[in-house]
Amino acid sequence: MTQALDRVRKAARLKKKERFTALLHHITVDTLQMAFYALRRKAAPGVDGMTWQDYEADLEPRLRELHERVHRGAYRPQPSRRTYIPKADGKQRPLAIAALEDKIVQGATVMVLNAIYEGDFVGFSYGFRPGRGPHDALDALTVAITTRKVN
C-alpha cells in the first residue's frame, strides 16, 4: 500500500462520517503497476487478445498511457469476452473475461476503495475481503466451537 493510500485508510478509520469525494488522484502509475503485478500471469486474454507477458514487454509506456487516459476521462472499458463453464447438472454458467487493461484499472480501483472500507469491517467478517475467505471463516468457527462453551 502506498503512503497516500495509508493516509486515506487512517482518515477513514478516524473520521467515520467523512465523505471521500475525490479519489481519482490515488490511481497513479505505481498503483496501476501494483495492480498489474497482482494479476494472474496465466489468465485467459480478453477480447483484446492481450496476455500478461505481452503487456509486460512494454509495461512502463503502456501504464503511463493508461494512466493518462484514465485521468483525461478517455478510458473506456472494453466489452468482456463471454465463455460458458459446464455445471454438474448439465447447465452452463456464464463467465465474463475482462480485457487486461480493464483488470488493471479494476484492481487499482479496488486498492483505493479497500483502503477506505477495510476499516469498517469487524474482525469476523470474511466475505469478499482481501486475504480472507470461506476457509478462514471455517477455521475461526472451529476455534470458537472448540474453545468456548456453546449450546
Cα–Cα distance, 4 to 115 (Å, whole number): 10
pLDDT at 10: 82
> Residue holding cell 503511463?
64
Q: Mention every residue, 6+ apart, whose C-beta is less than 8 A from residue 67.
A: 27, 28, 29, 32
pLDDT above 90 covers a percentage of the chain that reads 50
Give 86's strand partners: 92
pLDDT greater at residue 52 or residue 116: 52
Instruction: Provide the residue ranges of all domains of the chain, joining segments of one domain with +.
Output: 3-120, 122-151
Cα–Cα distance, 59 to 73 (Å, whole number): 21
Mean per-residue pLDDT, 65-89 = 94
Mean per-residue pLDDT, 59-68 = 97
pLDDT at 85: 93
pLDDT at 109: 93
pTM assigned to the model: 0.77
Assign residue 90 a region (left: φ > 0; alpha: ψ between -120 and 50; beta: otherwise).
Answer: left
Neighbours of 126 (CB within 10 A): 18
Q: Mention every residue, 6+ apart, whose C-beta is less than 8 A from residue 121.
A: 129
Cα–Cα distance, 72 to 12 (Å, whole number): 27
* CA proximity to 114, closest of 141, 140, 139, 132: 132
- Kindly report, residue by residue over 20-57, the tens digit of the pLDDT: 778 888 899 999 999 999 999 998 888 899 999 999 99
Give the mean pLDDT of the chain: 87
pLDDT at 1: 61
User: Do 36 and 27 touch, CB atoms closer than 8 A?
Assistant: no
Assign residue 18 a region (left: φ > 0; alpha: ψ between -120 and 50; beta: otherwise).
Answer: beta
